[in-house]
A and B are shown apart, each in its own frame.
Chain A
């Protein structure tokens, strides 16, 4: 049995991590550096032009008008074409790497199934998938999160982990950072002494963040749920390979099937900006229902809702919606999660919003949640 890892971040390697060939390394390094350069270009040239456009048409201009003017700038066209091209290249390079090793990774995964497992996997083949989930190829990931070719297919999870790591590093997120760790740090600072007995991670995906809760709360029973069978078939052996006892279940984050008041801590990591508003409201109701009295919910996501989000950052957000398969990004930015928590049953005074810096990157994460009386 594997010994549990001490900490998990973007450098975590495990038995299901695909090996990078010399060619893979060259291709992925190119994409990484191209993404870094394009990010710098956006923050310098595009932002300068954006601000000049705002000055020309007035400081109070609506974002859409500014976008229209920037859309006509030749730098915007080139940047957009290269940015999208690099994203498509990223998925091709990662798909090639993962698919080439299907046999080896199948064998690695199979080694962690069976009676010696610390955690578990419960799939629900008859679970009805929401339309938005089966229609969205999040971030351009081939097949999206619902990819499931049957017969134990885990490719969706492998691609989500590999893509998330390369994309985030290209976007400037540090190697040491992990979203789950950010939540753990936030809880440790804001609710010191919290020792949950049962934790659930909603929309856990490949389980990368769920592992952080298993490490932070070693005495707790850790659960992760997601709609994607192909994500969970990867998450389970991945967790086992890392020595982490996690129970994964295929379920919807707004209707998990767990009993009322059965968890002390409910968390999610960058789930809310990937779902439509009615689903977000459902997740808040489910969070309230699942929590025991005194329990805590913390949802972590992108910081698009800051009142002081600079207009250019808002413009970049709207670009993501239109160009990078992020259909709910803008809806999320315009939604008050705090209000949704109150509507779900949490007292207004129990609701909090905060911003948590990354460990070694320039970004901050948005934290929103509440404590159930």
Chain B
């Protein structure tokens, strides 16, 4: 029986490690919100179609491509502030 290898420790990229922890928390929140959005989208779509929004129906629901574009759009908005870091002067 082998429990296997563990990923190597990762570097801390910020002088204050709390900032890195905050970024991790933002990612977890984003992921959780994405899961909730997915379920909510299925729920609303089923209601609009006049179908019973059972757990089985939500699991069986397949979103269309438009919803995938919406997913991409909101992740883009979430990460958009990164582009403004570009304007920050490099410390040297």
Contacts and interface: CB of A to CB of B under 8 A. Distances in A.
Interface residues of B, number: 47
A29 B38 CA distance: 9
A85 B13 contact: no
A73 B23 CA distance: 17
A49 B90 contact: yes
Interface centre among B5, B8, B11, B76 (most CB of A within 10 A): B5
B4 A30 contact: no
Nearest to A34: B75
Contacts of A141: 7
B58 A22 contact: yes
Interface string A52-75: 110010000000000001001111
A38 B34 contact: no
A140 B11 CA distance: 14
Contacts of A27: 31, 34-35
Contacts of A36: 72
B83 interface: yes
B45 to A, nearest CB: 11
Contacts of B90: 49, 52-53, 69, 72-73
Contact of A76 (B13, B33, B36, B79): B13
Contact of B31 (A78, A89, A140): A89
A3 interface: no
A148 B4 contact: yes
B82 A156 contact: no
Interface residues of A, number: 58
A144 to B, nearest CB: 4
A115 B38 CA distance: 43
Contacts of B47: none
A51 to B, nearest CB: 12
Interface stretch (A131-139, A172-180, A233-241, A332-340): A131-139
A93 B35 CA distance: 11
- What DSSP secondary structure best describes chain B's contact surface? helix
- What DSSP secondary structure best describes chain A's contact surface? helix
Given A33-B75, A137-B8, A149-B1, A82 B23 contact: yes
Interface in B40-89: 42, 58-59, 61, 63, 68, 71-72, 75-76, 78-79, 82-83, 85-86, 88
Interface string A13-46: 0000000011101110111011011100100010
Contacts of A350: none
Contact of B37 (A26, A53, A82): A26
A34 B27 contact: yes
Contacts of A25: 38, 63
Given A29-B68, A93-B31, A37 B75 contact: yes
A77 B75 CA distance: 19
Contacts of B31: 26-27, 30-31, 89, 93
Contact of A150 (B1, B28, B34, B79): B1
B59 A22 contact: yes
Contacts of B6: 137, 142-143
A72 B91 contact: yes
11 contacts: A29-B38, A34-B78, A79-B82, A81-B20, A82-B27, A89-B28, A134-B4, A147-B2, A149-B2, A149-B3, A323-B11
- Please provide the 6 A-B residue pairs with the shortest distance between their CB atoms, ordered closest to farther: A143-B4, A26-B38, A147-B4, A30-B34, A144-B5, A77-B13
